[in-house]
Chains A and B, each alone.
Chain A
């Protein structure tokens, strides 16, 4: 690895100043579990690494039942799944946080980092999209918000402008009779990159028999995580039924634009989008019904 300087700002302002004045010479590091691997392999280089774990806002986890969850961008996965109230409120988020890497990786890796890394396979991204997550971004011109589905722009590229920093991800408070799930397909049972990942969220009516709304997002089947809006929208107002779920699965399959590579073929991935859209919808429905 080439030498670099390392700084640990303790405030957002300080971080933004450093970022703004160093342009593309700088890399932001949270857990480092992707970034250090990329730097060691020479895929990313930077003369300056900015460790953002010392900034209070990026370590903040705050939940307000009327608004929602503000999750600091550097909060490691284990802090999310170890929080019992978060686990009860956002089981779909817990699905993701507890399957990124192994326990060692979860001690460091963060949802914010996973989103910023902008891998098509990022395991936390689909469910955060499905949950209606919004990125809180700080920059030289103040703060701005961006829906998570608009944040990843290309493999390894995100919407952060020069000087900007992802501070937190906001996830709205779950509505009554709602549920969310993330599942992925990997050849082993742990430690793999998703061949396909699907995050879904559903809101049911009071009877639990009809969809009010649904959101579906996909990983590893396009250059970025994909928000399969039409697939989720197709469920709104429909009775919960195998046919409706099947139709949403087919729409999700048509939203996927996978490639064939060593981890899977186009046909396999498209097929798995269908399988996992159905499985995650069924699981999210169970969760919404309190099952």
Chain B
């Protein structure tokens, strides 16, 4: 019943194969060292005291009893962070940014969300630290909180930050507001476009706060030595991001801080923000020994960075043949306690699947008394797609158009200018739509009562940014590959494959290692679907550097010019003398006597990322008496550019699709009216289990990215974008109800039935 279809035009030796990942054995035997697995001599364990209120002024904190508790070695509050001693005058324009950064790690004057850190305790073990926490006396003045994004935008709403003013496309407003920013793009003439339409539909959609749901809680181990050197071992998507955050808040030069990225137990965007590292470091400084801090699961839910709840209005005008004439959307995203929601990405992604002549998109970044949101797989795009792709389905229903043909008619392609002005390079949306249309799943007949089929597409631009790689050729011809990109889901393999492909050697001869921030140049986070592309490109560039140096050595040995030598498929040979030829290994053996070992290196900041598109198909069944949805068949189609390791590409597509299924059906933060989360456990934050899912079929489409020598695009993000709308559209097919609010829980589906006049009898 499953099918994997790889559409590929180019054959490679290593790229495109499915080797076993280099870190695999350690991870199946329990040997891999994750952040919580550190075991430093004399290490203390720390706990963080967190605000029980979503919004309150801190009047006083008394830690004296906790400090006196047996086994407690250090207690800190925001007074122990450098910000406390810095004046507004000293900081100038940087004051607010540092206040937000420092206060997010530990609140100084106000708590802005339930779970906001107030103090931290390092003790001989976590139980002792926990007992001592109860002895810290905090006097709060509770303040009125604001939880809902639309409520927060209203005049007179309680202000999360008294001094925050709206940045409206560069203009700063004069009165305080919870709207941190308004952004807007437009193209063409939307009034004209809507006037030309045969059908105009406009709907509103909402989505709930959701969490990335990585299984490993946040953690940090720090040792601030007496010589001023600070070492941090942590689970992060970006060791350099942690270094920068800690350096900023602790006012240290980055060279004083070494961050060692441990194995990471999932991130999905949620492990970029450094929640624990700076406070763990300050505890270590105070205690004089290493300190380890681990979050509990409820701390992860309440005090890390979920993805924003959102509200959006979407308006689309079409001709009777389905051609879109104008589009418009307003999207408001809740940033949580500090500005920085992905409203910009949301408006950029909203209509990126379509060739739009007339369009206008507006985004609002809004603060509320909830944990500061963070990235979650294609940040902003899933919320936007839920609205746009649901409305398109509604239009297709109204006009009796096939949803895939509609999308093919309007699809963005190479040369399409998007609303924000960027022109698409070679992209694979049309190929994905065709693959979905031609797939057995779409051609099969939907059978049974209360069943429905849904289609939706999704977009993520993918990212470039800086990556650094160093590789060293050993005398036996094996290669060490050092990189700064942490490996969340198989990138050691995909980058080693690109290295082996470029050098023309065996995958097994490349040994990738992820190193600390002292040992490699700046490398941006593993996120945004950039690592296999950008760090892969860095590896290719470093391998090219190796190849050039190998040619130089051969030239030296053969006493000839480098121009006479070529390097093809791992063999270095004289262009005109067939006798003169070295395999990679043979030449490696000569390195010691011809000048020593060779290292290739690269520090790059590529811009040739190729946009990613996905199309998903879902069949499902809804129990009309309970409102419960069971997904019965699922197919994910996606343009990978080139799938370096198809197994892990499929894994990204499947994992993203399933996170989307959870987001669609059951996942949400329940808040009380003041903003306290009511369900901070995996029991009540309902992520899909094995029993909730069918196999997830995948179709990898390969439309080569011209910005990468092997055609690689990113693959991590696009798969989470289509599922919510695809499922909503299928639920409409099964029940006749249009669901415009996520998640589409059994309760909401029942309510929709009652609103539409179904009986409520048993």
Contact between A and B in the complex (any CB pair below 8 Å): yes
Tally inter-chain residue pairs, CB-CB below 8 A: 66
Q: Report yes or no: B626 in contact with A192, Cβ–Cβ below 8 A.
A: no
Q: Report yes or no: B762 in contact with A274, Cβ–Cβ below 8 A.
A: yes
Q: Report yes or no: B760 in contact with A267, Cβ–Cβ below 8 A.
A: yes
Residue of B nearest to A274 (CB): B762
Tell me the dominant secondary structure on chain B's binding face: loop
Please, how many angstroms separate the alpha-carbon atoms of A259 and B746 in the complex?
17
Residue of A nearest to B128 (CB): A3
Q: Name B645-672 residues within 8 Å CB distance of A.
A: 665-666, 670
Q: Report yes or no: A275 in contact with B625, Cβ–Cβ below 8 A.
A: yes
Cβ-based interface call for B131 (8 A): yes
Cβ-based interface call for A193 (8 A): yes
Chain A hits for B751, CB < 8 A? 268
Given contacts A1-B127, A193-B683, A268-B747, contact A188 B762 (CB under 8 A): no
Cβ-based interface call for A190 (8 A): yes
Cβ-based interface call for A189 (8 A): yes
Please list 14 pairs of residues, one from A and one from B, whose beta carbons are closer than 8 Å in the complex, sorted by A's number.
A185-B626, A187-B745, A187-B746, A189-B689, A189-B691, A190-B691, A192-B683, A195-B746, A246-B762, A262-B684, A267-B754, A268-B627, A268-B750, A274-B762
B residues adjacent to A (C-beta < 8 A): 127, 130-131, 625-628, 630, 665-666, 670, 678-679, 682-684, 686, 688-689, 691-692, 745-747, 750-751, 754, 760-762
Chain B hits for A188, CB < 8 A? 666, 686, 688-689, 691-692
Q: Report yes or no: A187 in contact with B628, Cβ–Cβ below 8 A.
A: yes
Contacts A1-B127, A185-B628 aside, 18 further interface pairs with beta carbons under 8 A come to A2-B127, A185-B626, A185-B746, A187-B665, A187-B686, A187-B746, A188-B666, A188-B686, A189-B630, A190-B689, A246-B762, A249-B762, A262-B679, A263-B684, A268-B627, A268-B747, A271-B750, A271-B761
Chain B hits for A1, CB < 8 A? 127, 130
Residue of A nearest to B748 (CB): A268
Residue of A nearest to B761 (CB): A274
Cβ-based interface call for A176 (8 A): no
Q: Report yes or no: A272 in contact with B670, Cβ–Cβ below 8 A.
A: no
Q: Name A223-282 residues within 8 Å CB distance of B.
A: 246, 249-250, 253, 262-265, 267-268, 271-275, 277-278
Please, how many angstroms separate the alpha-carbon atoms of A191 and B689 in the complex?
8
Chain B hits for A185, CB < 8 A? 626, 628, 746
Please, how many angstroms separate the alpha-carbon atoms of A188 and B690 in the complex?
10
Q: Which of B127, B665, B666, B762 contacts A275 (CB 8 A)?
A: B762
Q: Which of B626, B692, B745 contacts A189 (CB 8 A)?
A: B692
Residue of A nearest to B683 (CB): A193
Q: Report yes or no: A250 in contact with B683, Cβ–Cβ below 8 A.
A: no
Shortest Cβ distance from B715 into chain A, in angstroms?
27
Q: Report yes or no: B679 in contact with A191, Cβ–Cβ below 8 A.
A: no
* For the complex of A and B, 3 pairs with smallest distance between CB atoms: A274-B762, A262-B670, A189-B691
Shortest Cβ distance from B267 into chain A, in angstroms?
23
Chain A hits for B761, CB < 8 A? 271, 274
Q: Report yes or no: A264 in contact with B679, Cβ–Cβ below 8 A.
A: no
Please, how many angstroms separate the alpha-carbon atoms of A202 and B41 in the complex?
64
Shortest Cβ distance from A98 into chain B, in angstroms?
13
Please, how many angstroms separate the alpha-carbon atoms of A274 and B745 in the complex?
19
Chain A hits for B626, CB < 8 A? 185, 272, 275
Q: Report yes or no: B689 in contact with A265, Cβ–Cβ below 8 A.
A: no
Shortest Cβ distance from A3 into chain B, in angstroms?
7
Q: Name A1-53 residues within 8 Å CB distance of B.
A: 1-3
Chain B hits for A195, CB < 8 A? 746
Please, how many angstroms separate the alpha-carbon atoms of A1 and B47 in the complex?
12
Given contacts A187-B745, A188-B692, A191-B683, contact A250 B762 (CB under 8 A): yes
Given contacts A190-B691, A262-B679, contact A271 B686 (CB under 8 A): no
Please, how many angstroms separate the alpha-carbon atoms of A193 and B679 in the complex?
12
Q: Report yes or no: B762 in contact with A193, Cβ–Cβ below 8 A.
A: no
